[in-house]
Amino acid sequence: MSADGVASKLAAERATEAPSELAADLAAELAEIRALDTVPSERVSALWDRLSPARVDDIAGSRWKGTGLDTGHPMFAMLGQMRWWGKDFTDARKVDPILVTDDSGDVVPDTSATGGGGASLWEVSFRGRPTASMVYDRLPVIDHFVVVDTTTDPTTGASRPSTLLAVMNGRGTVSDGEHFWFLLDRED
């Protein structure tokens, strides 16, 4: 079955589950994944297929704390050495894609790893589904996002994503046939 066929089948299965059952099941799966020292990429990929695509408007205007998922991909170790903190989506067209913790403990942008550029948010298809995606300005890399869970915005009362599952995609990002997976938790 093609990736599009799998995504369609999983979307149909999602539609038959009660929303509270689905949310509880996804929360439990994420908690189990977070607790693992090494995460099977197939497990993260299967979770991705069960989640709803993020929207650009849901991400823009927020700062997100990142957590790499150790599937054995070399990016996990590289980000650890950089003291990666997360991402800052100031707005859809101004993104600091790599925030790090500096020697004084402050969180600052690090453009050395991005070829001196930033990024922007666009809707791009990945695995047959359009989703909010971060396109690097100077690298052939795109990070794609799906929504793991939501909270209520205290100001507007609207529901908004609080945790995203993300996958790095693009030339030179796949290692031994595997993508780099990570989580982003909203900080503001």
Find the mean pLDDT for residues 52-59. 96
Mean local confidence (pLDDT), 45-52: 94
CB 149 within 8 A of CB 26: yes
CA dist., res. 78 & res. 59, Å (int)? 25
Reported confidence tier of residue 14, pLDDT bands at 50, 70, 90: very low
Q: What Cα–Cα distance (Å) separates residue 120 from each residue in 1, 40, 137? A: 33, 30, 7
Set out the domains of the chain in order of their start, with CATH numbers.
52-186 (2.40.128.580)
Q: Residue 88: what residue type?
A: D
pLDDT at 17 over 70: no
What pLDDT is recorded for position 16? 46
Q: Is 93 left (phi over 0), alpha (psi -120 to 50) or beta?
A: alpha
pLDDT band at 90 (very low <50, low <70, confident <90, very high): very high
Give the per-residue pLDDT at 11: 47
Whole-angstrom distance, CA of residue 138 vs CA of residue 120: 11
φ and ψ of 128, to 5 deg: 85, 5
pTM, two decimals, is: 0.86
Give the DSSP per-residue string, 103-163: TTS-EEE--GGGTT--EEEEEEEETTEEEEEEEESSSSEEEEEEEEEEEE-TTT--EEEEE
